[in-house]
Amino acid sequence: MNADPRRLKILCVSASLRQKAGNVLVRMPPFAGNPIRLETARGLRDRSRAVHAGAFLRERRIAFDCAAREFPRIFAHELFHFVWLRAGNARRRSFERLLEGERRAGARGELGWSAEWRKRELADTDVRARGRRWREYCCESFCDTAAWLYSGTARHEEFTLAARWRERRARWFERHLGGRALPV
């Protein structure tokens, strides 16, 4: 299927940011949904940590505070927060089971720092109870996996998950999200 970037309308006052987003969208699966606004911001924080970007899902807006070379990976990650929100419980649970399998097998590493620090802080009780820390980890891991798959970033110091697990995740994305426009 050809990705059709026109299916997702990007609203952005900066022509250069819109262009950079368009360059990433052509590598991605097609999306279906209302426009998403992009903007730049300074000093973004998530609780106490500085972050590169934030997705404001109800406002349909993504704010960026990142270096230009990191933009493709970070844009892809934030966009997939919208996909996760609309993926449905069955698909989200399926991805959780994939990650549970990795954890049981002792798979270390991740495909982005956002998932990695959460993974390191997980306790068995978080996983068993499917508590907030576990669900946040699953969401961030989903978005980091999408960024690894679709951003066009072949190598990055934050891609620390072993190849066999990466390949399983790529197959999961193909099986569960491939072949149709993704609601955002």
> Please, which residue, 4 or 136, has the CB nearer to Zn ion?
136
Least CB distance to Zn ion at residue 82 (A)? 11
Contact letters for Zn ion, residues 100-129 (x by CB under 5 A): --------------x---------------
70: its two tokens: 């990191």
Read off the amino acid at residue 105.
A
Least CB distance to Zn ion at residue 29 (A)? 18
Contact segment (CB under 5 A) with Zn ion among 33-41, 132-140, 145-153, 169-177 equals 132-140
Q: What is the distance between the alpha carbons of residues 179 and 163, in angstroms, rounded to a whole number?
A: 24
Least CB distance to Zn ion at residue 103 (A)? 19
67: its two tokens: 């270096």
Q: What is the distance between the alpha carbons of residues 88 and 95, in angstroms, rounded to a whole number?
A: 11
Please count the other Cβ atoms lying within 10 Å of the Cβ belonging to residue 53.
22
> Residue 54's beta-bridge partner residues?
63
Least CB distance to Zn ion at residue 46 (A)? 8
* CA distances, 85 to each of 57, 59, 73 (Å): 8, 13, 19
Question: If binding means CB under 5 A, how many residues of this protein chain bind Zn ion?
Answer: 3
Residues that bind Zn ion (CB under 5 A): 114, 140, 143
